[in-house]
Copies of this chain bind each other. A is one copy, B any other.
């Protein structure tokens, strides 16, 4: 059903990036921050943490002292049923907020695992309140991000509940390609996809075998190419059509 290894984690911090120099911030997808906001973020950030590919960053049912932001790499969030079946909720890309649940509620309701080597920015959970109290614009951003995340999962749910296999696969691949594009990890209709067909299956509620056959159909129809982690879109319009995907829509978002 799933495939969960869990190589070593390595939360070590060396020299950390000043939020003012954050490499993500210049990307057009992120809104501009004021100097005050940047100063606070810098003081809020308590460190960075590196995890190698395949590490479990947060575990369903546990509780972390930190809130994270993904600075570089790919990760994923998933839930597991008691008997091991696994559902990937979504993929995390640079700029995504991770572990808010454990900061705001009692414990994590899902796990987080890296797909590549990753760097996370660390924010101490107990200073989140400070953010809400003294930086309402940032608090608003946190809510915005959470609300957007909720919507993404809802879109995903609609896929799994009501789209056919080929529609689902087309949708997910297109979705991930576009998200990667927004953070500079894709371009020219090509992207490096660090996940396997098993991951796609676990995200779409399908078996690996059927996932494979479905992907092959898209490849044979010359809509995509995907080999050795290198992904390419050959016919975006047709792909979007199959996916019932709306190619418009694109809003600026905050990067806390």
Q: A157-B156, A162-B81 are in contact. Are A109 and B139 (CB under 8 A)?
A: no
A12-20, A98-106, A177-185: which lies at the interface: A98-106
Q: A87-B161, A132-B136, A147-B100 are in contact. Are A155 and B79 (CB under 8 A)?
A: yes
Output the nearest chain B residue to A154 by Cβ-Cβ distance. Answer: B89
In the complex, which residues of chain B have a beta carbon less than 8 angstroms from the beta carbon of A147?
A: 100-101, 104-105, 146
Cβ < 8 Å to B, chain A residues 5-53:
none
Q: Is A238 an interface residue (CB 8 A)?
A: no
Cβ < 8 Å to B, chain A residues 92-149:
100-101, 104-106, 109-110, 129, 132-133, 136-137, 139-140, 142-144, 146-149
Q: A106 near B150 (CB under 8 angstroms)?
A: no
Q: A104 near B154 (CB under 8 angstroms)?
A: no
In the complex, which residues of chain B have a beta carbon less than 8 angstroms from the beta carbon of A139?
A: 132, 136, 139-140, 143
Q: Looking at the complex, which one of B87, B100, B154 makes contact with A79 (CB distance below 8 Å)?
A: B154
Residue among A85, A149, A153, A158 with the highest chain B CB neighbour number at 10 A: A158
Output the nearest chain B residue to A134 by Cβ-Cβ distance. Answer: B136
Q: B87 near A158 (CB under 8 angstroms)?
A: yes
In the assembled complex, the Cα of A100 lies from the Cα of B87 at a distance in Å of: 27
In the complex, which residues of chain B have a beta carbon less than 8 angstroms from the beta carbon of A148?
A: 105
In the complex, which residues of chain B have a beta carbon less than 8 angstroms from the beta carbon of A106?
A: 251
A23 → chain B, closest Cβ, in Å?
Answer: 26
In the complex, which residues of chain B have a beta carbon less than 8 angstroms from the beta carbon of A129?
A: 136, 140
The 10 A-B pairs with the shortest beta carbon distances in the complex, nearest first, are A161-B205, A150-B150, A87-B158, A132-B136, A85-B162, A87-B161, A157-B157, A133-B136, A146-B146, A79-B158
27 A-B pairs with CB atoms under 8 Å apart are A79-B154, A79-B155, A81-B244, A82-B244, A85-B163, A87-B158, A87-B162, A89-B154, A100-B143, A101-B147, A101-B151, A105-B147, A106-B251, A109-B151, A109-B154, A109-B155, A110-B154, A129-B136, A136-B136, A136-B139, A139-B139, A139-B140, A146-B146, A149-B150, A153-B157, A160-B160, A160-B161
